[in-house]
Structure 1
């Protein structure tokens, strides 16, 4: 799945942009709600997102979309993430 960022979200930090992609998991709720699953990211700070304070209104609203899902956010080093294409990494 690929989606361009709207101008509203383009100035967000890398952490916040990566967090937005995790929230998109909610679109597959009917398929994911019955079992535990892993979300892989190369943004190590996201692995601690459940322990962090939700300080902005959009974080508070979006985090509720994941309630009820059994997931783990797992870290995968960028060099090991062969599935990511050049466009997602910003390289020519």
Structure 2
């Protein structure tokens, strides 16, 4: 899957861009992912341990909740 970033997202940090990429990919493949466990592989070190992170921003909480809904 490939998608260009809109101008609104181009100035974001790499962390946020990678997080958005994960959310977009999960949304795209949701019908296939919602029936079993799956693993997300990323080379962004700050996202590797996503479950242990303190979610301080509202967008992080919303995105993480969206991912947890697929368990």
TM-score, normalised with respect to structure 1: 0.65
Higher helix share: 2
**What is the alpha-carbon distance in structure 1 between the residues aligned to residue 46 and residue 59 of structure 2?**
18
**What is the alpha-carbon distance in structure 1 between the residues aligned to residue 35 and residue 17 of structure 2?**
27
Alignment of 1:8-87 (within 5 A): 8-24=8-24, 25-70=26-71
Higher strand share: 1
C-alpha RMSD of the superposition: 1.5
Aligned partner of residue 12 in structure 2, secondary structure? coil
Q: Which has the larger radius of gyration?
A: 1
On the 8 A contact 1:54/1:60 being kept in 2, the answer is yes
Q: Size of the alignment, in residue pairs?
A: 70
- Deviation at residue 7 of structure 1 after TM alignment: 1.4
